[in-house]
Amino acid sequence: MRADVAYDLFTAADPNHDTSSGDYEVMVWLARLGDVQPIGSKVGTATVAGHTWEFWDGMNGAMRVYSFVAPTAVNSFNANIKDFFNYIAANRGFPAASQHLITAQFGTEPFTGGPATFTVSSFSLNVN
């Protein structure tokens, strides 16, 4: 099995942007199964939401992708996702004041392998 378990968030300056992409994508990988990696290159580590993450930065076409990757699986996670946006605004020049959250997702991205079962016992997301 090669997959990730992640939050996947897209922002755009235009609040009516197509929700399948954006100006920026922010991913928070809670687990990495197999030899998969995010778009771009590992550029360091970041401590956010009580965890230390590998921090990746790259481009997917014209969209900048920031990924926070847990070095070992995080099986229980309760955090304010905005903390990740605060980190990239303070450390990577993310233009928070001009961006709108257009899509927020959570789940798994299977690359190869299976069959597998993905179970989430509780999930909630509030946007303020």
Q: Kindly state the DSSP code that residue 75 receives in the 8-state scheme.
A: S
Looking at per-residue pLDDT, the higher value among 9 and 116 belongs to 9
Are 84 and 48 contacting, i.e. CB atoms less than 8 angstroms apart?
yes
**How many domains in the chain?**
1
Within-domain flag for 63: yes
CATH number of the CATH domain containing 30: 2.60.120.180
Residue 40 tokens read as 């771009």
Looking at the chain, the whole-number percentage of residues with pLDDT higher than 70 is 100
pLDDT tens, residue by residue, 27-83: 999 999 999 999 999 999 999 999 999 999 999 999 999 999 999 999 999 999 999
Active site residues: 25, 109
Name the residue among 83, 50, 51, 84 with its Cα closest to residue 67: 84
CA torsion angle 54 8 64 57 (round to 10): 10
Within-domain flag for 61: yes
Name the β-bridge partners of 67: 27, 56
Within-domain flag for 127: no
Name the β-bridge partners of 45: 54
Residue 2 tokens read as 């090669």
The predicted model gives 89-104 an average pLDDT of: 96
